[in-house]
Amino acid sequence: MSVFKGVTLQHDVDTEPTADGVDVHTIHADDLFLAARSAKDQGYRILSLLSASDDAKGPMSVLYSFVKPANTIAEFGELRVRVHIAKEDEEGNALATHCPSISDIFPAAIWHEREMYDMYGITFDGNPDMRRMFLPEDWKGFPMRKDDKTPEQFVAMQDGEDIVLSEQREGSW
Amino acid sequence: MVDAASLGIPKTFDQHPTLKPLGDGSHLMQLNMGPQHPSTHGVLRLKLQLDGEIVHDVEPVIGYLHRGSEKLAEGMNWVKFIPLTDRMDYLAAMHNNHGYVMAVEELLGGADEQVVSERAEYLRVFAAEMSRICNHLFWMGTFFLDMGAITPVFYALREREEILTFLEELCGARLTFNYMRPGGVKFDLPEDATYLNRVEAFIDRMPAQVGEYQKLLKKNDIIVGRLNGTGPLSREQALDYGITGPMLRATGIAHDLRRVAPYSVYGQLNFDIPVINQSDCYGRLQIRWAEMVQSCKILKQVIAKLRDGNLDGLCLNPNYAGGKILRIKAGGEAYSRIEHPKGEYGVHVIGDGKLKPQRVHVKAPSFANLQALPVMTRGQKIADLIATLGSVDIVLGDVDR
């Protein structure tokens, strides 16, 4: 019996526990929207976590945690979903990283998705406001990606001219 | 790909409606508020669209205090990240410590081994609940300060000072505690034998102090007029925007992780969850007052337990004491959540069995709650925006991380 009641997913679900004992259901990105709708219909109303991570070798992944609003222990429940996002195709060419947005179902996801776009460069298709969250608009690169390079120098503007703030030091990352 | 449009689901909201000309040929006024504005409690910038005094739209612009803590975590040992969590929400730093060390302990221990002794758990709850009172006191003071009332902040800081002194005796710091460790806490209670007595005397007095604030403020005509019905947020909206903490409990749901998903020793303690069915600034104020009293109730029980002396164990697990704490290696993935004074505080950690974490993500309650500010303030007066922003209880260090 699938945990995603009420919807038919197109791809297989892979379930395994995390260290804290809660199962994580790994689904295909195309199924994410249906899974999120199923979660909401089942009462998992609060988007508790939306966190991307980058493994230097494998694909990137996004972990979602949906929580039931509860008055007692018995009412509480948590549903964790993971989606993998490929960084490169089979021949090793870099791909643009895309993920479907769940912001139509969970408006709370808008800012969380913007944060992950800012840090990891994952474009969430369907998010109405896909801009950087924390970093300046003209920032180049996505700093949390494992292949991101620290800039060789940091430049700021003073009296209309660019000045170098600091050179990169040995041993930083 | 399946999306909302293909399923015929209407768009549930319009985050940033475009600047529409008004019917009579005039336009809305764009006004910039912040980032250095006294009522934003830090560096928050709000882009306002105003029709006279009425707020048509608000767009929070954040990131001015972004320090890249999550990136820094990937370059340091597991335990060295604890001081950085202090600097996220610096008004309730104990809770940040607690959330992070709980996540690391999930990776270390597994279900069968008890990583943290019972004594350490009680010390953690002791520190955390003191910190909760502290957070709510400071919130109350600055909240009324935003609205032009000078006196409450003196009352609030008077009591906060005492708590900070107790915490300083416990761990040597007043704001950035760096107190908890994977496997326990850094220090046991102070050697001073009167310490618990002095804390207990304060805890006994604290509910009466809350009564004093209520006597001063609760039925004040100006306060009631300013707060009643200001910043409304329906239960559906609160759930949609992932609101947690006192703001969610003001909508009538007793969702408190200490009760519904007990962690540490909260399952053994007796306390109530304040709930109110009035989701506006006034309701949120009532909730936080009531929570301070409940924290005193918890502290009373914790102090009795600590004084008893029957609690087993050292305050820090010897496997992680001394230099061993720097050599913690952790692998796996975990997400742990605690009830922070501001809402649900979660830490997502991934380790690959090495000395440094592969990923640390902090789900900050201020960040999640701030997102609902436009929903609460559209159609309200600009002065009510200040009160509503205050009632959310944000700390910009927590929003930007």
Q: Taking CB atoms and an 8 Å limit, are A129 and B9 in contact across chains?
A: no
User: Residue B8's closest chain A neighbor by CA?
Assistant: A104
Dihedral sign computed on CA atoms, order B138, B291, B102, B99: negative
CA distances from B343 to B83, B217, B246, B266 (A): 21, 24, 7, 16
Min distance A153 CA to chain B CA atoms (Å): 17
Q: Which of A60-69, A157-166, B33-42 has the lowest mean pLDDT?
A: A157-166
Question: Choosing among B108, B333, B358, B399, which should be mutated to test the A contact, i.e. which has the most A CBs within 10 A?
Answer: B333
Contacts of A51 in chain B (CB under 8 A): 335, 348, 359, 361, 363
Q: What phi-psi label fits residue A43: left (phi over 0), alpha (psi between -120 and 50 degrees) or beta?
A: left
Distance from CA of B310 to the nearest CA of A (A): 28
3-state DSSP assignment of residue A44? coil
Mapped onto helix, strand or coil, the DSSP state of residue B361 is: strand
Cβ of A69 within 8 Å of Cβ of B262? The answer is: no
Is B241 in contact with A119 (Cβ distance < 8 A)? no
Confidence band, pLDDT 50/70/90 cuts, at residue A104: confident
> Can you tell me the distance from the alpha carbon of B28 to that of B58, in angstroms, rounded to the nearest whole number?
12
**Chain A contact probe: residue of B361, B362, B366 with most A CBs at under 10 A:** B361
pLDDT of residue B13: 46
pLDDT score of B181: 87
C-alpha–C-alpha distance, residues B124 and B119, integer Å:
9
Residue of A nearest to B242 (CA): A46
Residues 362-391 in B contacting A (C-alpha not used; CB under 8 Å): 363, 367-368, 371
- DSSP annotation of B380 reads S
- Record the pTM: 0.85
Q: Region A87-102: what's the mean pLDDT?
A: 80
**Is A65 in contact with B110 (Cβ distance < 8 A)?**
no
Strands (E), A126-170: 153-158, 161-167
Q: What is the pLDDT of residue B207?
A: 92
Residue A110 reports pLDDT greater than 80: yes
Q: Do B242 and A73 touch (CB under 8 A)?
A: no
Interface of A with B in 99-138 (CB under 8 A): 100, 104-108, 110-112, 115, 119, 125-126, 128-129, 132-136
The pLDDT score that the predictor gives to residue B326 is 76
How confident is the model at residue A66, as a pLDDT?
A: 92
pLDDT in tens, A52-63: 988 877 788 899
Cβ neighbours of B177 (radius 10 Å): 25
Tens of each residue's pLDDT in chain B, 401 residues: 565 566 555 554 444 444 555 666 667 778 888 787 777 777 888 888 888 888 888 888 888 888 888 888 888 888 889 999 988 888 888 999 999 998 888 888 754 567 788 888 899 999 999 999 999 999 999 999 888 888 889 999 999 999 999 999 988 888 888 898 888 888 888 888 888 899 999 999 999 999 989 888 888 888 888 888 888 888 888 998 989 999 999 998 989 999 898 888 888 888 999 998 988 889 999 999 999 999 999 999 999 888 877 777 777 777 777 777 777 777 788 899 999 999 999 999 998 888 888 889 999 999 999 999 988 888 888 888 888 998 988 888 889 88
Please state the rounded mean pLDDT for residues A129-153. Answer: 81
A154 CB within 8 Å of a chain B CB: no
Contact between chains at A19 and B332 (C-beta distance less than 8 A): yes
Give the pair of three-digit tokens for residue A134: 């924390």
Determine which helix (DSSP H) or strand (DSSP E) holds B50, and give its type and residue range.
Answer: strand B45-51
Q: What is the pLDDT of residue B17?
A: 47
Provide the pLDDT for residue A130.
86
- At residue B96, the pLDDT reads 92
Å between A45 CA and nearest CA of chain B: 6
Tell whether B154 lies on the interface with A, counting CB pairs under 8 A. Answer: no
Closest CA to B33 of B393, B392, B383: B383
CB distance A173–B62 less than 8 Å?
no
The C-alpha of B206 sits at a distance from chain A's nearest C-alpha, in angstroms, of 27
Out of A51, A108, A143, closest to residue B361 by CB: A51
Q: Which residues contact B398 (CB under 8 A, 6 or more apart)?
A: B88, B89, B342, B364, B365, B366, B367
Contacts of B215 (CB under 8 A, 6+ apart): none
Contacts of B368 in chain A (CB under 8 A): 108, 111-112
In the structure, what pLDDT confidence band is assigned to residue A135 with cuts at 50, 70 and 90? confident
